[in-house]
Copies of this chain bind each other. A is one copy, B any other.
């Protein structure tokens, strides 16, 4: 099943941008009248009929809409410090999208080697992984901010199909860090098992770990320090493993 992303949709019509139109019409040779499947990136998949096969701006008429298509029963924000090697962070974006994540926040820590992060490539990877893994909602890739700003100012991600009552429920905030000895940590699975909501935020530090000030600030803001088991993991592996632990917990 091939999915196309529509930058504009309403209950009647889906419009594809030049990239998606070119792929649909030039590469896959779809013509007016063909049935195609379109996602709005916000959680709905549309079964459509192509009504304009312009390779620079195709349009498709909605036959049937499937809200919440390919969704998952939790809401997950992973805030992760971009790795020195950009490929590794992008790999995390791809894998977390495949597994199921709602928001990715590139955070810059006191000890981050990479202090600047541009989100354009991550956005493209998230779109591609969303289509490839048959989901209708593209995870949000937030603009980078400092770990401290994230801890102090971030709110749970807003979700298009969420109920107000659910949004109000306290979210589970976890910080995975490597300090040894000074703070008692539980495993990420124990933290998940002790929580009865569905809104989870996980904060993953840079190669050099969080600074003591960042860890303290997180704990002061209600973050629970967790570990990810005995293995020593790279930043991007830790981030994917945390997303996987949440996915498996709610599976």
Known: A245-B248, A248-B245. A233 touches B99 (CB 8 A): yes
A15 within 8 A of B: no
Which residue of chain B is the closest to A227 with respect to CB atoms?
Answer: B251
A91: CB under 8 A from chain B? yes
Using CB atoms, name the residue of chain B closest to A133. Answer: B232
Known contacts A72-B231, A229-B247, A230-B251: A241-B99 contact under CB 8 Å: yes
Q: Is A134 an interface residue (CB 8 A)?
A: yes
Query: What's the least CB distance linking A164 to chain B, in Å?
Result: 25
0/1 string, A237-251, CB within 8 A of B gives 1: 100110011011001
Contact (Cβ within 8 A) B234 A247: no
> Is A189 an interface residue when CB atoms closer than 8 A count as contact?
yes
Task: Find chain B residues with CB under 8 A from A247 CB.
Answer: 229, 231, 241
Q: Is A49 an interface residue (CB 8 A)?
A: no
Is A187 interfacial (CB-CB < 8 Å)?
Answer: yes
Selected contact of A98 from candidates B91, B99, B237, B251, CB within 8 Å: B237
Tell me if A75 is interfacial: C-beta within 8 Å of chain B. no
Cα–Cα distance between A229 and B249 once the two chains are bound (Å): 10
Residue A158 lies at the interface, judged by CB distance under 8 Å to chain B:
no
Q: Is A95 an interface residue (CB 8 A)?
A: yes
Q: Is A132 an interface position by the 8 A CB rule?
A: yes
Residues of the B chain whose Cβ atoms lie less than 8 Å from the Cβ of A91: 91
Contacts of A251 in B (CB 8 A): 187, 189, 229-230
On whether A95 and B132 interact (CB within 8 A), knowing A189-B248, A231-B100, A251-B189, the answer reads: no
CA A226 – CA B97 in complex, angstroms? 22
A234 smallest CB distance to B (angstroms): 6
| Structural contact, B248 and A98, CB atoms closer than 8 A | no
Task: Looking at the assembled complex, report how far the CB atom of A37 sits from the nearest CB atom of chain B, in whole angstroms.
Answer: 14
Question: Chain B contacts of A134 at CB under 8 A?
Answer: 232
- Quick one: closest B residue to A135, CB to CB? B231
Judging by beta carbons under 8 Å apart, are B189 and A233 in contact?
no
23 A/B residue pairs, CB under 8 Å, sorted by A: A70-B231, A70-B232, A72-B231, A98-B233, A98-B237, A99-B241, A100-B231, A132-B234, A133-B231, A133-B232, A133-B233, A133-B234, A134-B232, A135-B231, A187-B251, A189-B248, A229-B247, A229-B248, A231-B247, A241-B244, A241-B247, A241-B248, A244-B245
Give me the 3 closest cross-chain CB pairs, A-B, nearest first: A229-B251, A134-B232, A244-B244
